[in-house]
Amino acid sequence: MKEVVQSVDRALSILEVLSDQETGLGLSEISNQIDLHKSTVHRLLGTLMIRGYVEQDPHTNRYSLTMKLFELGNKKIEKLDVLTLAKPYLRELADKTNEVVHLVIREGAEIIYIDKVEGDYTLRMHSRIGRRSPLYCTAVGKVMMAYLEEEERKKLWEESAKKEYTSFTIIQYSQMQEELKKVKNQGYAVDDQEHEIGVRCIGAPIFDYQGNVHAAISVSGPAIRMTPEKIKVFAGFLLKYGEKISRELGYMGEM
């Protein structure tokens, strides 16, 4: 059994008590809540103040937390690597669907494929790690656009050189707006042969700790295999794994 260092344990108890109070606590209140003598609490508070974790209001003498704990936690979150975190989930998703799974990020009006895992079925498509594609005609791109503010979304649309890759490609903004409403409502997007004839893709978002879409994942397969029934099943898988990766990145909101 691991040994508990008493002074560290007591200092952490103070931090936990203060975290529940928006207006702070006085010395006696802290002492009562953690059942420690005021002189001991005072010494521990002094150390916590020197280290920048606690501050004292000069007018009320009440103690409260600073933002230092948030800053420390934020440093860890910022170092999280979506590519590393997502890797095992992409493999699981490919095993479940037997289709090609992609992980992408956005740069401007384009997506960049940063990982690709193939299932048992082979699918010849133009994707490769490092390749770029437009937002507007890919499932992952559409799901990223759906969660942007309207002003930014329209700006990206105007920056895109709309090309009709297939007869299914959406190149009218009014039609895209309706499509993105549907995407946001259901939580996933479908590329129904909009980028490549014969290929259907489903995309779902990955959120970061701030609630922004940080990346997206997709499942791609031949249109003949990607039936409406299968798309519904695969969409459920995508949403599940998108949530798992989002949680790994520190996302705490609803999916």
Q: Which amino acid is at 28?
A: S
CATH of 80-248, one of 3.40.640.10, 3.30.450.40, 3.40.50.620, 3.40.50.10490: 3.30.450.40
- Condensed to tens digits (0 to 9), the pLDDT of residues 174-225 reads 999 999 999 999 999 999 999 999 999 999 999 998 899 999 999 999 999 9
CA distances for 205 relative to 58, 122, 147, 149, 216, angstroms: 47, 25, 9, 15, 4
Instruction: Give pairs for 176-180: CB < 8 Å, separation 24+.
Output: 176/136, 176/145, 179/142, 180/142, 180/145, 180/146, 180/153
Domain assignments of the chain as residue spans, ordered by start? 6-76, 80-248
The secondary structure element, H or E, covering residue 217 is strand 213-222
3 state DSSP class of 118: coil
> For the whole prediction, is pTM greater than 0.85?
no
Q: Which CATH class is domain 6-76?
A: mainly alpha
Q: Which of the residues in the chain have pLDDT under 50?
A: none
**What per-residue confidence (pLDDT) applies to 12?**
93
Taking only the tens place, the pLDDT of each residue in 164-176 is 999 999 999 999 9
pLDDT digits (tens, 9 = 90+) for 122-135: 655 566 788 889 99
Ramachandran bin of 137, using left for φ above 0, alpha for ψ from -120 to 50, beta for the remaining angles = alpha
Distance from C-alpha of 55 to C-alpha of 67, rounded to nearest angstrom: 10
What is the number of other CB atoms lying within 10 angstroms of the CB of residue 18?
22
CB 103 within 8 A of CB 90: yes
